[in-house]
Amino acid sequence: MSAGKIVDLNKLCIHTITTKHWSIEEAAENYSKVGVKGISVWRQYLDGRNIAGTGEMLRAHGLEIVSLVRGGFFASTSLDARNKALAANKKAIDEAAALGAPMIVLVCGADPGQPLEVSRQQIQAGIETLLPHAIESGVKLAIEPLHPMYADTRSAVNTLAQANDMAEAIDSEYVGVAADVYHIWWDPDLEQQLMRCGRNNNLFAFHICDWMSPTVDFLNDRGLMGEGCIPIRKIRGWAEAAGFRGYNEVEIFSDRLWSGDQHEFLKRIVKSYYQS
């Protein structure tokens, strides 16, 4: 078996945002029908629902809950906004615990009104503040480095090296890294930083999709695996070599793919997953 090759669906997880127009009940039913084994739940899909009951519903469909998406947004020039973010993150941790999600993905945030270094300090301080509540709740926190094109507002953590630095500085088994190929595929240090991440038991999550050429929208023009130029299998091989045994989480934001038939889209996800 060659490194990174997909042989079955046992490690296929889908983020609910990927099939944006489906409720979580529809997603659960449709994912499980085609053999998807994991689900990562975006918080808006829990709105108005009994969260513990929703977790039971997902497990009853044979789905493992991989992560709750998302916490973060710790960085701001406003102390009030930072405090509100901490409160929102505590609520997210409570939701993850109620749902039975073992982990929250952190989109760490940035504020164009302050230096990146300040945002980075606020992010680390925010995570450290949350950590006791996360530990008590049994919910891990995964720092997701975001592509440098999001450094102004979405995340001041823009490389796997930075995420590794931060996770190692915080030094808790409850804090690690979510590696999304979309954000880090271009990085010349990717292989060595994945190895470092694994060596420190910090590789908590692995997200996949593809980079379209050309990309026409900063947020919502991700591709299905194989549609773009990301060497997903090679990167997965590195993650496996680094000891990662978790899910491949398909996280695609795409106005193009959201506009068509969603059952057809789900079939294409499964097909392209095998080929990825």
Degrees, nearest 5: CA angle 107-41-221: 60
Q: Enumerate residues 213-232 that contact a second copy by CB under 8 A.
A: 213-216, 218, 228-229, 231
Q: Enumerate residues 179-208 that contact a second copy by CB under 8 A.
A: 185-188
Phi, psi at residue 77, to the nearest 5°? -70, -20
Q: Enumerate residues 1-30 that contact a second copy by CB under 8 A.
A: none
Binding residue (CB under 8 A) for a second copy from 86, 88, 151, 241: 151
CB of 224 to a second copy, least distance (A): 15
Does the protein bind a second copy through residue 162 (CB under 8 A)?
Answer: yes
H or E segment to which residue 42 belongs: strand 38-42
Does the protein bind a second copy through residue 159 (CB under 8 A)?
Answer: yes
Contact between 57 and 81 (Cβ < 8 Å): no
Tokens of 111: 């504020």
Alpha-carbon distance of 40 to 66, in angstroms, equals 5
3-class DSSP state of 203: strand
Phi, psi at residue 38, to the nearest 5°? -130, 155
Q: Enumerate residues 100-129 that contact a second copy by CB under 8 A.
A: 112-113, 115-116, 120
Binding residue (CB under 8 A) for a second copy from 49, 81, 135, 148: 148
Exposure string of 229-242, with b = 16+ CB inside 10 Å and e = fewer, is ebebbebbbbbbeb
Stretch that binds a second copy, among 55-63, 157-165, 192-200, 257-265 (CB under 8 A): 157-165
Start-to-end C-alpha separation, the chain: 14
Does the protein bind a second copy through residue 170 (CB under 8 A)?
Answer: no
Does the protein bind a second copy through residue 211 (CB under 8 A)?
Answer: yes
Chain residues in the site for a second copy (CB under 8 A) = 112-113, 115-116, 120, 147-149, 151-153, 158-159, 161-162, 185-188, 211, 213-216, 218, 228-229, 231, 234
